[in-house]
Amino acid sequence: MLHKRLIYILLLITATGFLGSCKKWMDLKPNDGIIKEDFWKTKEDVQAAVVGCYASLLGTPSGSETHSAAELFFLWGELRADMLATFLGTRDNEFEVINVNTTAANTITNWRPIYRTINYCNTVLEFAPNVRNLDNTLTQQQLDAWLAEAKTLRALMYFYLVRSFKEVPLKLKATTSDNEIVTIAKSTEEDIIKQILNDLEEAESKAVVTYGNNVTDRGRITKFTINALQADVLLWSGKPDEAIIAADKVIDSRRYGLVQGSLGGWFNSLYVVGNSAESIFELQFNVQKLNPFYSMFAVGNKRFVAAQKVMDAVYTTDASSDTTRDIRGDGASVQAATSTIWKYVGRNYDDLRAIDESYANWIFYRYADVLLMKAEALTLRANGNDLQNALEIVYNIRSRARALPATDEAPPPGDPYAISMFILNERSREFMFEGKRWYDLLRYARRNNVDILKDLVSTTVPANMVVSAQAKMDDPYSHFFPIYEYEIQTNKQLIQNPFYR
């Protein structure tokens, strides 16, 4: 019954969300079908609607969008960074972003898929509470848990938006018909972050610890997903003490651990099988709904390959031994011989998946991320014990990964800046192509270190564009995307990011 209701929801979403007038602001009309007379009456309706919030991240059933949310997570987190190289299939709009020439006409800046998910979450938050008056089998505890999922997923979407655009409209009410479409001005980054943290605080006390099975615990939001997201938001906001508290809630739960293994074992556990002991929250793909990465990385005219520095400088090689390697590098994140981005398309060290096997999950958070966020926060407090603890975290992760001596920067134990840069570089090894690199670099740059971004563009843009690209980095608004031109045209309250006016 739940499966049928979810299909019903998604079909209605497709039918009502993408056939309307081009004048509709943000196209936030996907949910008319969900509030029809035969819905929002039972707890099964609420459950199906919550599952639909997650499903919306996979893309529309009709495939009618230029980019799915999952694809945007990758593009937004990696295109502006330094680990990708272009290839035969790279698109013009992707070249624009890489070359620091993004315009408001670039479809990569179209935030519609993210706001669509936000609207689904808003719809659950608005309509689900009344179901308790109609279905006495729906307990308050179960309702609260579902609402916690919706609040957290909405918070995660706004965190992606605020890191990518800085200032965006903060919409907390559902749009369920044309009559409810209104124009909304941008909110400040500070107000958006405040709302994110408020949502997470409210959700934390209501969310479940476990759903009773491993796949669901990794594929849906738990209390520890909330804690991981809290740590990330607080670190972005420059609040290391609070970030450490949030990270410690995950660590102290003892529900997660670093996956140990052979050269192929780590890769197989995390990316082929998925839902590993290290995973906290993953976007679940399967045979029925493949991920968007095969055409990006696996076909002959693929859009991206790994930059040369990935093997030369980030992982490095051991000239004396073929088998001595960082288990996160060759055969995991990248296939060194071809520069293929391997994490989402490899079946094992040597073999490519078939196209109909392209269902590697997208990992939002895993245990190593929480550990390294804590380590970074410890460096910001900059006392002796904290710095030593930060280094211990990094070396534990490096030991698990069999990182090579060439990448051990051996920072002085009393130097918080050197240790923090060591952590940044370790994050690049640990989360290669997981959509985190640009946000990591930007977080560091916001701590009065814009030279990180100037050094970055000197290695990613053509030589004749380096001076211009570096000059752009002096304007903090250049670090964020422009608002997509369609939104500017249809919402007269929106003001373009000043760098792009």
Q: In this structure, what are the phi and psi dihedrals at residue 246, rounded to the nearest 5 degrees?
A: -65, -45
**228 within a domain of the structure (yes/no):** no
CA-CA distance, 484 to 60, in Å (whole number)?
20
- The predicted structure's pLDDT at residue 25: 29
Instruction: Judge if 398 and 434 occupy the same domain.
Output: yes
Per-block mean pLDDT, blocks of 10 residues, the chain (501 long): 46 34 34 59 96 93 77 98 97 97 98 96 97 97 98 98 98 78 90 98 98 97 98 98 98 97 89 97 95 94 97 92 88 96 94 95 98 98 93 98 96 96 98 98 92 96 96 97 96 96 90
CATH number reported for the structural domain that contains residue 459 in this entry: 1.25.40
Which residue reads 């989360």 in tokens?
A: 431
Question: What is the three-state SS of 330-366?
Answer: ECCCEECCCCEECCCCECCCCCECCHHHCCCCEEEEE
Number of Cβ within 10 Å of residue 217's Cβ equals 21
Instruction: Judge if 359 and 435 occupy the same domain.
Output: no
- The predicted structure's pLDDT at residue 179: 54
**Of 314, 337, 364, which residue sits at a domain end?**
364
Instruction: Judge if 371 and 457 occupy the same domain.
Output: yes
Instruction: Judge if 32 and 122 occupy the same domain.
Output: yes
- The predicted structure's pLDDT at residue 449: 85
CA-CA distance, 76 to 98, in Å (whole number)?
11
Instruction: Judge if 288 and 355 occupy the same domain.
Output: yes
Type and span of the H or E element at 305 = strand 304-306
Beta carbons of 283 and 289 less than 8 angstroms apart: no
Beta carbons of 286 and 362 less than 8 angstroms apart: no
> What is the total count of domains within the chain?
3
Quick one: how many helices (H) and strands (E) in the chain?
20, 8
Instruction: Judge if 376 and 283 occupy the same domain.
Output: no
CATH number reported for the structural domain that contains residue 158 in this entry: 1.25.40.890
Residue range(s) defining the domain that contains residue 428: 365-465
Instruction: Judge if 135 and 269 occupy the same domain.
Output: no
Closest residue by Cα to residue 9 from 154, 139, 116? 116
**71 within a domain of the structure (yes/no):** yes
* 3-class secondary-structure state, position 279: strand
Beta carbons of 222 and 205 less than 8 angstroms apart: no
Type and span of the H or E element at 165 = helix 140-165
* 3-class secondary-structure state, position 103: coil
69-94 burial code (b ≥16 CB/10 A, e <16): bbbbbbbbbbbbbbbbbbbeebeebb
- Report if pTM > 0.85: yes
Q: In this structure, what are the phi and psi dihedrals at residue 242, rounded to the nearest 5 degrees?
A: -70, -35
